[in-house]
């Protein structure tokens, strides 16, 4: 057997230098978005040129390589994945992998286009999705997203529910913006049977005149408040991701807390991210990366080269991110230049 064939057949697991098994890929299919959330991007955002973004054929080849080497779960994200033209064709391309090595295909969306796509997503193998929603107040929704209509998202969520998609709501906790409606928000999730995860704002990319620190809310505080009002019980559930889960007493919903700034959650990290240009980021909060677009567009590059580079990228995964919240100086440390909308949440 030649060395090249051996490399092609080798399906040994993807294990990083800190003995973490990497089984989860988040793929950003576009950096574009129909909203302009204040904590995510500036009002006048500059987007990538089309030729910089991987084609769906290139993304498919990359995903297939990762699945061959042990990736079990793929989350499609962005920017807003559902605004990319042809996105349902891409889900359809990936669907056959669900009958072999891929265990889950899922999506993170802002929900504005869900009313159009919920049924098709389900028939293409998506069974669960994360919808980002930070408020149930239509004025605040406009204030946070600059361009959005709350009603569109609520209609989308209803369509997803009707299509039997299991929904988790992601909510960025924002001091002096949505912290006074947390109880209503939780009650709404209980009523609708949606799991709910709160997220701390991360210092990723320039956001123009906005200051993230002004609205940074430590989830430790939030959790204490929720616990005193609703009663929380710790549960052993783990999605393999960064959220720590609890259950609200007397309900079935799981409540998660993603605390990149107030607590480092990296020891159990099982994921890598590929941005819309094909650059793999080994860690959301570090600048280590490997450019797969170059490899995918090189006419001399073989499948064996692709596999070798996937393995190499995992060997370069850093131990942890460098975000931190310096409480004494009231400062966020470790800012990353790229936006979350490029890398995908």
Binding site for ligand SF4 (CB under 6 A): 33, 35-37, 40-41, 78-80, 110, 132, 341
Tell me which of ligand SF4, ligand SAM, none is bound by residue 202, counting a contact when its beta carbon lies within the kind-specific cut-off of 5 to 8 angstroms. ligand SAM
Count of residues in contact with ligand SAM, rule CB under 6 A = 21
Residue 204 touches ligand SAM, criterion: CB under 6 A: yes
Core vs surface per residue 220-246: b (16+ CB within 10 A) or e: eebbeebeeebebeeeeeeeebbbbbb
Q: 239, 241, 145, 226: which is closest to 190 by C-alpha? A: 226
β-bridge mates for residue 324, sequence order: 333
Tell me which of ligand SF4, ligand SAM, none is bound by residue 36, counting a contact when its beta carbon lies within the kind-specific cut-off of 5 to 8 angstroms. ligand SF4
Helix (H), strand (E) counts: the chain = 11, 14
User: Nearest distance from residue 64's CB to ligand SAM, in Å?
Assistant: 23
Q: Which is nearer to ligand SAM, 170 or 270 (CB)?
A: 170
| Binding-residue pattern over the window 30 to 69 for ligand SAM, x denoting contact by CB under 6 A | ---x-----xx-----------------------------
Which parts of 261-290 interact with ligand SAM (CB under 6 A)? Answer: none
Q: Phi and psi of 178, rounded to 5°?
A: -115, 5
User: Nearest distance from residue 144's CB to ligand SF4, in Å?
Assistant: 8
Which parts of 130-189 interact with ligand SAM (CB under 6 A)? Answer: 132, 170, 172
Q: Exposure of 100 by Cβ count < 10 A (0-12 exposed, 13-18 middle, 19+ buried)? A: exposed
Q: Which residues contact 199 (CB under 8 A, 6 or more apart)?
A: 170, 171, 172, 173, 258
Point out which residues bind ligand SAM (CB under 6 A). Answer: 33, 39-40, 77-80, 108-110, 132, 170, 172, 199, 201-202, 204, 340-341, 344-345
């Amino acid at each position: 057997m030649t060395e090249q064939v051996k490399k092609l057949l080798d399906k040994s697991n993807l294990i990083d230098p800190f003995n973490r098994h990497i089984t989860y890929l988040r793929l950003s299919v576009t950096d574009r978005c129909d909203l302009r959330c204040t904590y995510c991007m500036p009002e006048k955002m500059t987007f990538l040129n089309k030729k910089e973004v991987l084609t769906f054929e290139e993304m498919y080849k990359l995903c297939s390589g990762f699945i061959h080497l042990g990736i079990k779960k793929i989350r499609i994200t962005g920017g807003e994945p559902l605004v990319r033209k042809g996105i349902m064709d891409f889900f359809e391309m990936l669907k056959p992998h669900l009958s072999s090595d891929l265990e889950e295909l899922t999506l993170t969306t802002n929900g504005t286009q869900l009313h159009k796509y919920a049924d098709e997503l389900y028939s293409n193998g998506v069974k669960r999705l994360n919808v980002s929603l930070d408020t149930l107040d239509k004025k605040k929704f406009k204030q946070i997203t600059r361009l959005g209509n709350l009603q569109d998202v609520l209609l989308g969520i209803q369509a997803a529910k009707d299509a039997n998609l299991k929904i988790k709501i992601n909510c960025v906790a924002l001091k002096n913006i949505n912290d006074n409606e947390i109880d209503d928000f939780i009650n709404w999730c209980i009523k609708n049977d949606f799991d709910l995860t709160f997220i701390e704002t991360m210092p990723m990319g320039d956001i123009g005149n906005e200051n993230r620190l002004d609205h940074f809310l430590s989830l430790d505080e939030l959790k204490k408040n929720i616990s005193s009002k609703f009663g929380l019980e710790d549960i052993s559930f783990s999605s393999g991701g960064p959220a720590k889960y609890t259950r609200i007493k007397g309900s079935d919903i799981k409540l998660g807390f993603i605390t990149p700034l107030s607590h480092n959650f990296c020891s159990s990290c099982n994921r890598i991210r590929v941005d819309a240009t094909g650059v793999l980021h080994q860690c959301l909060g570090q600048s280590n990366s490997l450019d797969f677009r170059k490899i995918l567009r090189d006419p001399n590059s073989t499948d064996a080269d692709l596999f070798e580079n996937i393995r190499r990228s995992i060997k370069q995964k850093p131990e942890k991110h460098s975000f931190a919240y310096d409480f004494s100086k009231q400062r966020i440390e470790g800012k990353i230049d790229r936006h979350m909308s490029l890398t995908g949440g």
